[in-house]
Copies of this chain bind each other. A is one copy, B any other.
Amino acid sequence: MGASAPAASSVGQVERQTARLFTDTDPLRLANGETLGPVDVAFETYGTLSEARDNAVFICHALTGDAHAAGFAPGATRPGWWDNLIGPGKPLDTDRVFVICANLLGGCQGTTGPSSINPATGKPYGLSFPLLTVADLVEVHRALVRHLGITTLLAALGGSLGGMQVLQWGLTYPDELANAVVIAASSRLTAQNIAFSAVARRAIMDDPDFAGGDYATEGLNPDAGLAIARMMAHITYLSEDALTEKFGRQPHQASSAPGFGIDFAVESYLDHQGQVFTERFDALSYLYLSRVMDYFDPFAAADALDAVTADPVTWLVMSFDTDWRFGTEHSRRIARRLELAAQPVTFREIASPWGHDSFLLVVPDYHATITAFFNRALAEVQR
């Protein structure tokens, strides 16, 4: 990975599209009863929609992802964040499937979010933006699918918060998905998961430049707090062994005398992660989307499994053995609940040293499992 020329199997150059899916007169109705409009959605597509419109795969991205999953933006030398999975001959083979990826509602990469302009005031929403749920994110995805003239998806697929969207989608609208791939996700965050996100949010909101959420209006940016949030979260995305293998106790090359700056290589790495994150991500989106995860608990409702029991989806649930953010116990719980609803579920724990981040990396067993799942899914469509 890293900066390199487009690979032979790349989807090539891609361009971000935008669609206004809801308006102020025909707004999005949120799960909490509020309405939101307009809602613009940024998305990309890769591959070709079949004449039968039966080969569409929707990618749901994670907390800090965006619509640019594969290929190269104009002039870019680094491909999209899931380029190792999407392209000709890759597990999501764009010679066979039509892939859609959209920036989430509440995001900051082209889709309406808390730092978008509120037409009613002419200023960014800030903390007046409504609280969201995973169900709301899915409603916007569904509107985009309809907008593209598609009735049923071959599959939805996502990791972490992306997998949570796939799970919600499949449970609520099983008639719209033939297959669902839920990777390194959770159906219910633990107290520890919530605790880490709470500290991250605290770091953002306690930054004086957060300005009560009105930083954009005031020409500020809570970069220090957002960087701290990212640095801490980043520790939870990697296994302890991965950090040890990458950095161990190596000194930072630029370090001279010991002090309270960047003395160790791992400190330099985290500092860099925090810094580049502030250049691409928005503090309010971090608050809103992390809170969406805290509240997600789709199996809590008494009728949670009714729709999907009547109309099964074929599920693939995957975890990574060194993931300590959403470890195997989270995925196993999802698989068990689905089995209670008589769903066809394949559950796989993949051995990988890289922790939660594994879902973004080339782990051969992981990619082979997705390849096999889609070979089967496509064969069923073509039957």
Question: Which residues on A are within 8 Å of B, measured CB to CB?
Answer: 127, 131, 188-192, 194-196, 198-199, 201-203, 205-208, 224-225, 227-228, 231-232, 235, 238, 240, 243-244, 246-249, 258-260, 263-267, 270, 274, 287, 291, 294-295, 297
Do B224 and A264 touch (CB < 8 A)? no
A294 to B264, CA, bound (A): 9
- Tell me if A191 and B248 are in contact (CB < 8 A): yes
Known contacts A199-B232, A266-B198; decide if A259 and B131 are in contact (CB<8 Å).
yes
Q: How far is the CB of A352 from chain B (nearest CB, A)?
A: 17
Given contacts A208-B208, A249-B188, A249-B191, contact A228 B243 (CB under 8 A): no
Contact status B260-A195, CB under 8 Å: no
One of B131, B196, B266 near A194 (C-beta < 8 A):
B266
Chain B nearest CB from A3 CB (Å) reads 25
A255: min CB distance to chain B, Å? 12
Q: What are 20 contact pairs spanning A and B, CB under 8 A?
A: A131-B259, A188-B249, A190-B248, A191-B244, A191-B246, A191-B265, A194-B264, A194-B267, A195-B231, A195-B267, A196-B235, A198-B267, A198-B270, A199-B228, A199-B232, A201-B260, A202-B227, A202-B231, A202-B274, A208-B208
- CB proximity of A172 to chain B, nearest CB, Å: 20
Distance between Cα atoms of A233 and B156 in the complex (Å): 37
Q: Which residue of B190, B206, B263, B295 is within 8 Å of A228 (Cβ)?
A: B206
